[in-house]
Amino acid sequence: MIVESLMQAGSAFLGSTYPIICGAMTWVSDAKLVAAIGNAGGFGLLAGGNAEVEALREEILLTRQGTQHPFGVNLITIAPNYRKQLDMVCEMGCSKVVFAGSFPRAAEIAKAKESGAQVICFAPTQVVAHKLIDWGADALILEGSEAGGHVGPVSLSVLIQQLLFEIDTVPIFVAGGIATGRWMAHLLLMGAAGVQLGTRFVMSEECSAHENFKRAFRRAKARDAMATPQFDSRLPVIPVRALKNTGTTAFGKLQVELIKKLEDHTIDREHAQFEVERFWMGALRRAVVEGDVETGSLMAGQSVGLVSEIKPLAAIIEELVEEARQTIDIIHNRFHDT
């Protein structure tokens, strides 16, 4: 069938039944969710975040116990524990390593590949994409600003034109604002090897996120997922897309305080950025684990406006694939009838 042929390359690269990736969401993409994604036919990414090395090692072992299917480990290159995490992941022979947060160094990509892993990187521009491919990246993810959590400044529709249409040397997966099989079908037709979803999988029975967190997602509209602004170039912060609450307001106040400290030379930029990331890690944990949806961080993509029902992961993935199949059949018939 047409949809199977369109999914074949991405599925073969990932080693999964379907080229549907569950994005790495800190405190959300744990061993339970990642294993369940694999068992349902998708490909899960375990979130490294800033976890202690032994804690991440345990999550990898638990995921391997929970599924016989492959999965990846997502490492945040700006996390304090990043280099120790990379050493451990290479030591454990993980099959896919995803570098996120910033750009990995060529030596770090080489290190992962020497361990036997295939490397996936996020690429926000054409120049960076080509550099990462030259350094050995085996695949790329284009993530539009519609996504949740830390996001880049460019929408997926533009990234598709800048990168997906221009690069054919490695598989390219796309992310940001994806919640339906209909949209997945069109992305596959445009040349995507597969798709990455995050917000949609939060609304699964297997996701361990607090019920309050899921309830907030169920009630939210697309416009409620807003990206945080940067107040001053002296404090470069990666925008975070989340549902607006008092926690979002608190982050604005934190930026003002840190900028004042930078002006007074009571803190340097590196420590200021660390304070920013520490804020988000703590706020996200409060929301996801403790259910504090007032002061915690409700990181969500704009696709939150497209999801309102909690379902088993298998049902979600089956729905995505069936919608994609029906959409492609409709398009095929339109051409056949003309």
Q: What is the pLDDT of residues 50-74, one digit of tens each?
A: 899 999 999 999 999 999 999 999 9
* Same domain for 221 and 197: no
Same domain for 116 and 69? yes
Q: What is the pLDDT of residues 7-18, one digit of tens each?
A: 999 999 999 999
152 and 249 both lie in a single domain: no
**Single-letter residue type at 320:** L
- What would the pLDDT profile of 220-245 be if each residue is shown by its tens digit? 999 999 998 888 888 878 888 999 99
Instruction: Give pLDDT, residue 157.
Output: 95
Q: Is the pLDDT of residue 285 over 80?
A: yes
Q: Report which of 31, 37, 73, 29 is spatially closest to residue 320, judged by C-alpha positions.
A: 37
Identity (one letter) of the amino acid at 164? L
Q: Are 244 and 224 in contact (CB under 8 A)?
A: yes
What are the tens digits of pLDDT across the range 92-140? 999 999 999 888 999 999 999 999 999 999 998 888 999 999 999 999 9
Mean pLDDT of 65-91: 95
Question: Quick one: 295 and 325 in the same domain?
Answer: no
> Out of 215-224, 250-259, 268-277, which region has the weakest mean confidence (pLDDT)?
268-277
Q: How far is CA 265 from the centre of its chain?
A: 35
Same domain, 186 and 145: yes
Query: Both 135 and 267 in a single domain?
Result: no
Angle at 120 between CA 116 and CA 121, to 5 degrees: 135
Residues 200 and 285 occupy one common structural domain: no
- Pairing mode, if any, of strands 194-197 and 240-243? unpaired
The band of 338, judged by pLDDT with boundaries at 50, 70 and 90, is low
Residue 123 is part of which domain span?
2-209+307-337
What's the CA gap between 15 and 334, in Å, rounded? 33
Q: At 150, which CATH number?
A: 3.20.20.70
Q: Check pLDDT > 90 for residue 188.
A: yes
CA angle 47, 53, 56 (to 5 degrees): 35
Q: Mean pLDDT, to the nearest integer, of 152-158?
A: 92
- The answer, yes or no, to whether residue 214 has pLDDT greater than 70, is yes
Alpha-carbon torsion, ordered 175, 176, 177, 180, to 10 deg: 10
∠ CA(298), CA(299), CA(303), 5° rounding? Answer: 110
Task: For residue 138, give every residue at least 6 positions away whose Cβ sits within 8 Å of its Cβ, in sequence order, or none.
Answer: 13, 113, 118, 119, 120, 170, 171
The answer to whether residues 12 and 152 belong to one domain is yes
Same domain, 49 and 137: yes
pLDDT in tens, 304-328: 999 999 999 999 999 999 999 999 9
Whether residue 291 is found in the same domain as residue 319: no
Same domain, 168 and 285: no
Q: Based on the domain organization, do 181 and 232 belong to the same domain? A: no
Token pair for 310: 């909690």
Q: Tell me, what's the pLDDT at 182?
A: 97
CB–CB of 140/116 below 8 Å?
A: no
| Alpha-carbon gap, residue 79 to 81, rounded angstroms | 5
Q: State the DSSP code for 161.
A: I
pLDDT mean over 265-271:
88
**Percent of the chain beyond pLDDT 70?**
99
**How many structural domains does the chain have?**
2
